[in-house]
Structures are given as C-alpha cells and as structure tokens.
Chains A and B, each alone.
Chain A
C-alpha cells in the first residue's frame, strides 16, 4: 500500500468505476416508483448526486436552536439583498470534518461557526482561507477579534453558575469559592474540555488575572484533581443544565448561554455572574476552496450589522461582538450580555495564541487528570 504506483492504480480503478456509474441509477424502475410514493428523491440513490447549487452559501453550525436563530438573525437579512442565498446547516463543523473535506477536494461548506483557536490551528495547517478584510469591516469588532483566518461573530463566556439557596444565603463570588467545598458544600460541574476550565483553577489558586497566560498547566491540573471526586464533568450544554435541574450539583463552570437559560427556567433559583469569567469569541472560518468563493465574505460583512447580533443575543444569549451593538440591547437584558462594556471588563479574554499552541497536548493531559 506504501508505494505510489499501487495508489495511483487504485485511484484509477475508482475513476473507472465512477465513470461507468456516473448518473446512472442503481435501481430498477419499479423501485424508483416506490421511492416516488415514499417521497424519496431517486437522485440520492445515484452515484455523484447533483452538485450543490452554485447560487447558495452553506453556513454550518452545530445544530439545534442555533439553526433557527442564526437563520433569523443573519441569513434572512442577508438573503433580502442578495442573489446568492445563505442557508444554515447544522452539520457540526468539527476540525476533523473540515480537514477531511479540504483534503478530499470536495468542499461543500462556505463558512463554519467555530472560534479563534480553531482559526489559528486550521489556518496554520493551510486548511482555511484568510479573511478578506477588504470586504468585511475590521473596525466593527474589537482588535483581538479580527484574526488572520477567523472573524469574531459573537461573544460567549465560561461563567460560574450556582444554586442560590444551597449555601444558607451566601453567594459564591469567585472561583476560590467554587473550589471551596467546605464553605460552599455540594457537587460541582465542569466542562470535559480545557476551554476556560484551567483558568478557574488558577484564579482560585491566586494567580492574578493579567498573569494568567501562559497557563501553568500542572498547577491548574493539581487544583482540579483536588476536587475531582466531587465534580461531574459535562460534555454538552444540555448536560450541564440537566445536573442543575436534577439538583445533582450546587455550582458549575458553564457557558453563559446555558446559565441564562437555566436562570430563566428556574425563575432565578439558579443564578450566575460574569466576575472572573473567561470570555471567548465565536468566529467565522472559511474552508479552503469553498464553493462560493469570495461571496461568503459579503455574508460575514452583513452579519456584522448590530441589529442581527442583538437579535441572536435575545434568542440564544450569544453576546454581540460588534461593540456598537451593546447600546442597542434592551435595558432589562443588558446585565446578561457578555459583550456589554461592564460585563466584558469583569472577564478575562481567553488567549487564542496560547490555546492554539498548547490545546492538543493539554486537552489530553486534562482528560488523563480527570479520569
């Protein structure tokens, strides 16, 4: 399998097979009419189905409510003034799938909803396009949110959420309280991923916020290990909220978006704050060789409009990345906005450079430490 001759031969076989089956349905007529009754498009049984319509932009996120929300906030406003229509696909743009897609040369995605760390990791592997700042407006985001390969799209945070009635009237204010099981009894929940988690341990251990990066991994892991017996590690946002619902935990290190939902649903019994939170930024990335080419940057530029960002915040809790949007957030929702000037000042922005350089190694160390 090693030598190139074999590979070329096998690739050639694939080509022949493809040529011979091109466009031909694999099934008989009777079967096709059955499919028609079922409403199944026979095209899906064909080899090489029709290629994606040239007149569309495929924007990929992680699915669920975000599909409807991003559609209303960003795709619809963009589509009103554009011949090329943006559509939101909840297909889950994992790094692996982006890499596999780009390497296969059959790219079907135009933009993906990831973050600035992924932008650096994938950008350095030449898997994504550079952001075209002649089309999108650099001045509509904070300087740290305009990356070479990724453009900030919304702000989210890793916050401390807590069960209000669990500590006899006391309120956990810092991560030190989170790690203090004696004065704040009950189990904790943390993310089964390093993003924003090591920071909690170091801040609790007394590291100054401006000295946080580069993270002292060993010190952080030791601190986390000291309480891991009492920690339930969550993998999905739904799980992190479920453990609060079931009263399995009294405190959690969770997404602000999830904390907002939990607070609303519990009518305030679960609360959270942005103090010492870790601020993150979602970012648009463009897979190398995306089908719509430069057109995708017009969509990004359109999504920089503050109105759409405020719309998304109202539905999903993702804070507007455009500082101009903060003032447009309704007054009663402003305390929940991670991107508001007051809340943003309380938080410590995550350092994408540190993560891009270290996360692959440290993620494994983290998983090994908690298991």
Chain B
C-alpha cells in the first residue's frame, strides 16, 4: 500500500513506536533487577550480582519448573491450535445459526473466571485420575487457550473469500485438498497469533495449576508463587531476561538466514 509518504501514516508509525517504548519500558527494570544482590525484587544499589542466574542454572527446582512449564505450554498450545483452528474453519464454512452457537460456547472458557473452572476441572480430573499429571494440566490449559485460537483464526478468515474454496474445487481439488492447500494457508496468520496467546496463557497460568497439580508437575508460575509468602525471588527477573535474550538471538538468526536466502535467490540461476 502506498500511504508511506503521507503525514497521517507517519503519525501512526510514530504512535506505534511510542507504544513499543511503553511495552518495553518494564524491561528497563527487569534487566537490572535480575542483577540485584538481594534476595527480594529490587534495583541493585551499586553492587551487581549474578547470583540469581546462578540459582537458575544450579537449583534443580528452577530448571525443572521451566521444563515443566515448557512441556505444559507446548502441549496445550498444540491441542488448542488443533481444536481452535478446526472450530474456526468449520464455523467459517458452514456458517449457520448452529455454528454461531458453537462459536459462542467456545468463548465460555475466556469469560468464566479461572477459579470457577479450576473447581470444575478438579472434580472431573479427580474422577479421571488426571490430577497432578502433565496430561491433566495440558488439557485444562488447552481448554483455556482454545477460544483465543478460535477468535484469531476467525479474524484471519474474515477477509478470505468463500469463493476461494469453490475456485480450488473447480480446478479439480478435493474438499480436503482445498482445505489444506488453500484455506489453511490463509488461516495461518491467525493460527500464529492464536498459538502465541495459548502459549503465553499457559506460561503464566497459576490459578488452575494450583488446583490441579501438587508435587508431580511443578510449573514456573507455581515456583514463583512458592516465594510469594516470603519474597518474590528475583530469579523470575533472571528467567524473563534469559527468555528475552534467547528470543532476540533467535530473531537475529532468523533475519540473517532470511537475508542469506534472499541473496542466494538473487543470484540468477539461468544465464
């Protein structure tokens, strides 16, 4: 789109960068806090210390809690992506009163406060023997994550023309092929956004986790919560800092790879 040089666009872009500044402002606190020599959350006062990074790398309970969080968050994201995308696609294509009701019902896990469904999960999970298991926590978190996927995928499909599918069919594709080759690619941005939500939701989830797990599965928010009676451990600042640094590295690698590919692609293959 060619609005780039216009003044309103430049104002919008300026606003967007201001928003980014606002979003990243807490980093200005989180990084220094991770270097505090104290055992409570605080800005370091002169002296810097790596003790909290040391804790993270040496204290098995932190490492295990990060591992459990990664397992649960990844598992529940996968389940939520599959369930949410299926629902959104079907509702998009079928498009009837009934599918509207389905979509409404799918929103329920978002609306109901965590503590209420924590109680509901507990009662059933106890019967199924799912308490304090990865599977139990993955399923519970997936139920909470699914609505976000439904919404994001629906939003992504909002501007996709239904005739697209018909066109693919007319060209000889089966219904499944059309779905796989044409519609799912169009839903991908929504699936990506939805998976980020589902992952973040599980990564930070405490209320349901406290109810459904005890010693077998011990996620990062539980480890953090464990200190809340005494002092919130600055190791959580170290975790956040490490995650941010790792994400930045991954991003840089990705950009470098993309550039290299672009360079390779630019080399003419035919004379």
Interface positions of A (Cβ within 8 A of B): 11, 14, 17-18, 22, 26, 38-41, 44-49, 62-67, 89-92, 96-97, 100-101, 103-106, 108, 236-238, 241-242, 245
Contacts and interface: CB of A to CB of B under 8 A. Distances in A.
Contacts of B230: 64-66, 237-238
Nearest to A245: B42
Nearest to B133: A44
A106 B123 CA distance: 10
B96 interface: no
Nearest to B71: A40
Interface string B204-230: 000000110011110000000111111
Given A14-B128, A38-B67, A100-B123, A236 B133 contact: no
Given A40-B71, A64-B229, A89-B214, A104 B127 contact: yes
A44 B128 contact: no
A44 B217 contact: yes
Given A89-B215, A245-B42, A47 B227 contact: no
Contact of A47 (B40, B41, B135, B229): B135
Which 9 pairs show the lowest CB-CB distances between chains A and B?
Answer: A48-B129, A104-B126, A63-B226, A64-B230, A64-B229, A106-B126, A65-B230, A100-B122, A47-B129
Contacts of B217: 44
B214 A64 contact: no
Contacts of A91: 210, 214-215
B128 A17 contact: yes
A91 B218 CA distance: 10
Interface of B: 40-42, 67, 71, 115, 119, 122-124, 126-135, 210-211, 214-217, 225-232
A64 B42 contact: no
B38 to A, nearest CB: 9
B232 to A, nearest CB: 6
B114 to A, nearest CB: 12
B228 A64 contact: yes
19 contacts: A14-B124, A14-B127, A18-B127, A26-B135, A40-B67, A44-B133, A44-B134, A47-B133, A47-B135, A66-B230, A67-B226, A92-B225, A97-B211, A100-B122, A101-B122, A103-B123, A104-B123, A106-B126, A238-B230
B211 A100 contact: yes
Contacts of A44: 132-135, 216-217
A49 B216 contact: yes
Contact of A238 (B71, B119, B216, B232): B232
Contacts of B231: 238, 241
A238 B40 CA distance: 9
A236 B216 contact: no
Contacts of A105: 126
Contacts of B229: 62-66, 236-238
A101 B210 CA distance: 13
Contacts of B123: 100, 103-104
Nearest to B233: A64
A233 B42 CA distance: 20
A275 B214 CA distance: 40
A301 to B, nearest CB: 25
A49 B211 CA distance: 17
Contacts of A18: 127-129
Contacts of B122: 97, 100-101, 104
B228 A236 contact: yes
B61 to A, nearest CB: 11
Contacts of B131: 106
Contacts of A65: 229-230
Given A64-B227, A100-B119, A245-B42, A46 B67 contact: no
A40 B138 CA distance: 15
A104 B211 CA distance: 13
Nearest to B63: A39
A237 B232 CA distance: 10
B134 A49 contact: no
B235 to A, nearest CB: 13
A18 B129 CA distance: 8
Contacts of B216: 41, 44, 49
B228 A238 contact: yes
Nearest to B131: A106
B133 A45 contact: yes
Task: Give the most central of A18, A44, A45, A63: most B CB within 10 Å.
Answer: A44
Contacts of B71: 38, 40
B74 to A, nearest CB: 12
A287 to B, nearest CB: 13
A47 B130 contact: yes
Task: Give the most central of B71, B115, B226: most A CB within 10 Å.
Answer: B226
Contacts of A241: 40, 231
